[in-house]
């Protein structure tokens, strides 16, 4: 069964090049009306140009689809509002948001300038906040939405690009929170952790690996997974999916049973560190409540995953 998006409206940020372009084209090819957002700056986030967004929107239209170009910055709340309003102004609704905008960060932690760190965090993490907030309000009102945030496999650790990794790790927590906010309104939020050869990865020094990446890890091999995550039939929410090279895999946060000490001393934990580290019988909690429920009864408190952790507003 072919997955289509007829009648659906999508925003893709950072859609002028690379992964964002592939996402926008794929959604447009499958029937979505697409707001192609891109500030059009350099890979480092400097400068701006309307040309990349316009070119991708024109490409979608030339192929028989519907699209509009948008050049607002995701970094500011005003820019996020304007991007969402663009969808309503041109297409009357919003069903899908793909937060993809980002900048390159290969700086070692001790050498990175404050401006570089701020720009990286702002584009990746604050940018996701800026566009998601107005989009989520609209989706909750209409009782439907699909949000895909872009994290990265770099969260598993790399000696360079620490600001980038930190922002991408934040996006995982952000995604899980948005998923909980939308669970009663058919608003699903998930994170994609893509691997693709783009101008962001064009700095790979090993020539053989670079050639393999360029051939196998084309952005289109990520766009299919993202299209699935955007579809109305996709039920998972609050999850993370690695995608690239034709592979899609789930990445999850697991918790070991751990060791419970009555004394709570460093020495007691040291003596039982093997128990702390033992990954047998780990759990994958859907939220903080499920994690509490996994061990609080062992401490003598009859806590369940349904126990409220926050006051109703």
164 is catalytic: yes
* DSSP notation for 273-294: HHHHH--TT-B--SSHHHHHHT
What CA–CA distance (Å, rounded) separates 230 from 99?
A: 12
Which phi and psi (to 5°) does residue 25 adopt?
Answer: -65, -40
Which residues on adjacent β-strands are paired with residue 35?
Answer: 11, 68
Cβ-proximal residues to 193 (8 Å cutoff; 6+ apart), any chain: 150, 151, 152, 153, 155, 168, 240, 241, 242, 243, 251
Residues 6 or more apart from 9 whose CB is under 8 A from it? 32, 33, 34, 35, 87, 91, 92, 93, 94, 95, 96
Strand segments, DSSP code E, in 160-218 are: 187-194
Q: Of 91, 164, 174, 217, which residue is the catalytic one?
A: 164
The Cα–Cα gap between 122 and 74 comes to 9
For 124, which DSSP code? I
Three-point CA angle 259, 261, 267, nearest 5°: 100
Residue 190 pairs with which residues in a beta bridge?
Answer: 148
Residues with a known catalytic role = 164
């Amino acid at each position: 069964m072919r997955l289509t998006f007829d009648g659906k409206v999508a925003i893709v940020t950072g859609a002028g090049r690379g992964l964002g372009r592939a996402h926008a084209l794929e959604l447009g090819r499958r029937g979505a009306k697409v707001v192609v957002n891109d500030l059009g700056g350099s890979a480092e986030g400097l400068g701006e140009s309307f040309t990349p967004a316009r070119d991708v929107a024109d490409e979608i239209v030339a192929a028989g689809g519907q699209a509009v170009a948008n050049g607002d910055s995701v970094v500011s709340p005003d820019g996020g509002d304007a991007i969402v309003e663009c969808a309503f102004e041109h297409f009357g609704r919003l069903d899908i948001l793909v937060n993809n905008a980002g900048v390159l960060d290969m700086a070692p932690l001790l050498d990175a300038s404050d401006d570089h760190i701020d720009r990286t965090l702002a584009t990746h993490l604050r940018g996701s906040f800026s566009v998601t907030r107005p989009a989520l309000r609209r989706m909750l009102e209409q009782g439907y939405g699909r949000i895909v945030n872009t994290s990265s496999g770099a969260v598993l650790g790399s000696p360079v690009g620490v600001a980038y990794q930190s922002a991408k790790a934040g996006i995982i927590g952000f995604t899980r929170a948005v998923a909980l906010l939308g669970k009663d309104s058919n608003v699903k939020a998930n994170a994609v952790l893509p691997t693709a050869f783009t101008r962001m990865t064009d700095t790979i020094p090993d020539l053989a690996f670079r050639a393999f990446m360029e051939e196998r890890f084309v952005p289109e091999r990520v766009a299919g997974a993202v299209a699935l995550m955007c579809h109305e039939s996709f039920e998972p929410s609050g999850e993370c999916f690695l995608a690239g090279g034709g592979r899609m895999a789930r990445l999850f946060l697991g918790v070991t049973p751990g060791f419970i000490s009555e004394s709570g001393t460093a020495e007691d934990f040291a003596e039982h560190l093997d128990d702390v580290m033992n990954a047998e019988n780990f759990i994958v909690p859907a939220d903080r409540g499920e994690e509490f429920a996994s061990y609080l009864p062992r401490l003598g408190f009859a806590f369940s995953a349904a126990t409220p952790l926050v006051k109703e507003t």
